[in-house]
Amino acid sequence: MKRQVLALSLGLMTIASFGQKKELKSMEKALNKNDFNGALTIGNSLKSTIESADDKYKTKYYFLTGQALLGVKKYEEASSSFNQLFDYEKKIGKERYSSDARPMLDKIIKSVSDKAIALYNNDKNFGEASKFFYLTYKLSPTDTAFAYNAAVSATQAKDYETALKYYRELEQVGYTGKEVMYLATEKATGEEKNLGSKSNRDLMVKTGGFIKPVDKTSEGKSAIIKKNIALILKDQGKTEEALAAMSAARKAIPGDLSLLLSEAQLYIELNQMDKFGELMNEAISLDPNNPTLYYNLGVVNTNQGRKDDAIKYYKKAIELKPDYADAYMNLSAVILEEEKSIIEEMNKNLSNFKKYDELALKQKDVYKQALPYLEKADSLNRSEDTVKSLMSIYEVLEMGAKAKEFRTIYKSMK
């Protein structure tokens, strides 16, 4: 009885192998006629049995399937089939079809990557370019630079969700973006050039056109990826996630001013002005001649009631940028803040003429201090606010002609 079972089993295996051989032959004929869909239909009928097939049938199946998928432009699936072929033939230590399949896969990769580059550089179609760069990466997973290009293209297309996905995938696979550059100095020009590969560089040196060969490693992109993740999260309004990402990014790029300012902006949104002020001071240490930073510190100190510090920072901003209209306006506003307490005292001393007159003189003195800054703000960027404020000040200071002039201007603006 056992012998009968064994004989029956061997018979079934022979029949299955014969069937696979026949189907693969039909699949091959369909490919020769460019009937790619027909070849795929035959290939699909073999899926259930191919894993138990002999090595020679299994490798041929992967090879033919890859060709059929390539024919119908299912590039990622074609790549998967070819890679299955490479892996399996490497495993069994016998190469039947890999040498023919590799150029086919290389052709796919080049075609798709060329398409991505053309979409990015020529058509400026960043969204489509991103798709083709990512497809190139999926076709050749070791070429992680294509995934980086896909993320950059998606960012350019303002498809931030896709960009974020790609950047995070790059972090997961440990992409650094570092590359070895094979440099040499051209004799004729004295210019150092990147000659692409070590073999090409060494050849150019050997032939005498170049000297001083040197290898250099390019700066990596890990920090930039962290930065872009943080900025995308900020743009999406995911404040807490963005802050955590900003922290990681700033550790990676401690001197990045734009990243620091982005983090500072998040603290404004969280209404943590003390933290914002700390970051502004840090920003000034990185860029001490940036008037906007001093202006922002003026705003912070104004909001926190530190009048003298606010005035100091606004004046520094103006020193660095003499046409900074907003700084002049805010500086005049800080000075005029003192008027509130004076008016409160005046209202309490309406019957005390001596005290009232003293306070009125004090009010005029405040106006005189603020006037040149407000006039400058108006000359740089006139608005209803500047005109109305100047009109009122001129009236209090008894500057009749100016008050009349600005009253006319104000009416024309209403």
- Residue at 64 is within a domain: no
Q: Of 159, 191, 217, which marks where a domain is finished?
A: 217
Domains in the chain: how many in total?
2
- The pLDDT, as a whole number, for residue 347 is 92
Domain carrying residue 185: 180-217
- Residue at 296 is within a domain: no
Banded pLDDT at 24 (limits 50, 70, 90)? confident
Q: Of 217, 239, 265, which marks where a domain is finished?
A: 217
CB contact set of 143 (below 8 Å; sequence gap of 6+): 109, 136, 137
- The pLDDT, as a whole number, for residue 18 is 52
- The pLDDT, as a whole number, for residue 316 is 94
- For 305-315, write each residue's pLDDT tens digit: 889 989 999 99
* Cβ(300)–Cβ(277) below 8 Å: yes
- Residue at 204 is within a domain: yes
- Residue at 359 is within a domain: yes
- Residue at 409 is within a domain: yes
Is the pLDDT confidence value at 13 over 90? no
Is the pLDDT confidence value at 245 over 60? yes
Is the pLDDT confidence value at 352 over 80? yes
Q: Are residues 213 and 312 in the same domain?
A: no
pTM over 0.85? The answer is no
Is the pLDDT confidence value at 381 over 90? yes
- For 152-201, write each residue's pLDDT tens digit: 999 999 999 999 999 999 999 988 888 788 889 999 999 998 877 788 88
Banded pLDDT at 19 (limits 50, 70, 90)? low
Is the pLDDT confidence value at 291 over 60? yes
The per-residue pLDDT of the chain, averaged, comes to 87
Who has greater pLDDT, 2 or 58? Answer: 58
Who has greater pLDDT, 118 or 304? Answer: 118
- Residue at 105 is within a domain: no
Is the pLDDT confidence value at 3 over 60? no
- The pLDDT, as a whole number, for residue 17 is 55
- Residue at 354 is within a domain: yes
CATH of the domain at 364: 1.25.40
- Residue at 318 is within a domain: yes
Banded pLDDT at 10 (limits 50, 70, 90)? very low
